[in-house]
Amino acid sequence: MTKVDPLPRTFYRRDTKKVAKDLLGTKLVHKDTNKVVSGTIVETEAYYGPKDPASRASNGKTKISTPMWSKPGASLVYMVHAYWLFNIVTEEQGTPGAVLIRALKPGKGIELMKKRRETDDLHNLCSGPGKLTEALGITNEHQNVDVTEASAAVVVTQGDLGGIQIGTSHRIGVSEDLPQELRFYIEGSPFLSQ
């Protein structure tokens, strides 16, 4: 049995921006029926609550945003434009917040990713929030999964990258952004979204 070492819940029970930043370099692992597909997180975005015009939580609790009030470490999956987007809930239970995973560096199960994405281009497998969910096989079946649970289908584990450079920018694809930079990425990575 493979040793699984998920990040603890306390990791997510912090300021959303810090969690987004610290998630860079960690691994997102999907344990499929028989196979394991994983990747290193290279790009994230932080989303806050009512004060964040781009957040789903800005209009209060809706069907999509309600999980942002649930316990930290829970997954939040929803569909936009026919693609699944994968988020992880942050902050103390009762405080809305979530981190969107925007891009991965492919790890294990690359052959399976290529098959699902119907491309041989490594740089096109997970370089976007809609792409990585398709490559990993994440759907709404993975809604509200506890990624701190070693036995869960989707977990986040410590990465083995050292000395990475972190860059920031405004968020992408958002009509109304906050005056702060809430997108974080690993500087120089060839696997970022466009």
* Site for DNA, rule CB under 7 A: 45, 47, 54-56, 59, 62-65, 78-83, 85, 87, 98, 100, 117, 124, 128-131, 171-175, 193
Nearest approach, Cβ of residue 50 and DNA (Å): 12
Question: Minimum Å distance from CB 130 to DNA?
Answer: 3
Distance of CA 29 to the CA centre of its chain: 11
Select 5 or 26, whichever has its Cβ closest to DNA.
26
Cα 79 to chain centroid, rounded: 14
Which lies closer to DNA via its Cβ, residue 54 or residue 161? Answer: 54
Q: How far is the CB of 173 from DNA (least distance, A)?
A: 2
Q: How far is CA 95 from CA 63, 103, 141, in A?
A: 16, 26, 24
* CB 123, min distance to DNA, A: 11
Distance CA 92, CA 69 (A): 8
Cβ closest to DNA, residue 34 vs residue 88: 88
Residue 158 or 170: which CB sits closer to DNA? 170
In order, the DSSP letters of 161-172 are --S--EEEE--S
Contacts of 115 (CB under 8 A, 6+ apart): none
Please provide residue 162's backbone torsions phi and psi, each rounded to the nearest 5 degrees.
Answer: -125, 150
